[in-house]
Amino acid sequence: MAEKSTIARPYAEAVFQLADANGQLKEWSAMLQTVALIATDAGMQGIIGNTSVNKAQLAQLVIDVAGDVLTDSGRNLIKLLADNRRLDVIAEITVQFEILKAEAEKTVEAEMVCAQKVSAKQQSMIAAKLKARLGREVSLKCTVDESLMGGAIIKAGDMVIDGSVSGQLNKLSVELAG
């Protein structure tokens, strides 16, 4: 079977083009995230994977569970995915849509893992530095991991900055090992 990302890409691109053309990126993002949550539920995965389930009934089930979150276009997407037995890739469609959306909006989500809690002022300063470096608005999410011993690891898109003590020790041990 083809990779889910390969299958999802044309759907994500089509949905993105539709959403962007209609100024509905935020609405589509919410719809896709809701349907992805529904489709990744363990019980729902069993139903989606069951080829004996009627395609129209499967689409209607997902539409009913999603409720008022879906627009007519969102319901049409669900029907299309169900008809093609592709509801299992909706989570990947959502991921790829969010990447396209972030690219269009010139935003990036960054994750900073620190050895200790970082103040709001420090977070703002780091977000500003990342914005200058990446040329995008930065949404910074911070978590604490005491196993880092000190410092932080920042991930933003494909970029990783490892300024942690444990990372530096690992790098040093690799260099010493030759």
Q: What is the pLDDT of residues 5-60, one digit of tens each?
A: 999 999 999 999 999 999 999 999 999 999 999 999 999 999 999 999 999 999 99
* Residue 50, burial from CB neighbour count under 10 angstroms (0-12, 13-18, 19+): exposed
Query: CA 124 to CA 138: how far, in whole Å?
Result: 10
Q: Domain 4-102: state its class.
A: mainly alpha
Q: Token pair of 82, please?
A: 């169900």
Q: Which residues pair with 159 in a beta bridge?
A: 156
How do the domains of the chain map onto residue ranges?
A: 4-102, 107-177
Read off the pLDDT of residues 80-130 as tens digits, 9 standing for 90 and up. 999 999 999 999 999 999 999 999 999 999 999 999 999 999 999 999 999
Is 0.85 surpassed by the pTM of this model? no
Q: Token pair of 167, please?
A: 């990372």
Are the CB atoms for 140 and 123 separated by under 8 Å? yes
Single-letter amino acid, residue 59: A
Give, for 150, the enclosing helix (H) or strand (E): none
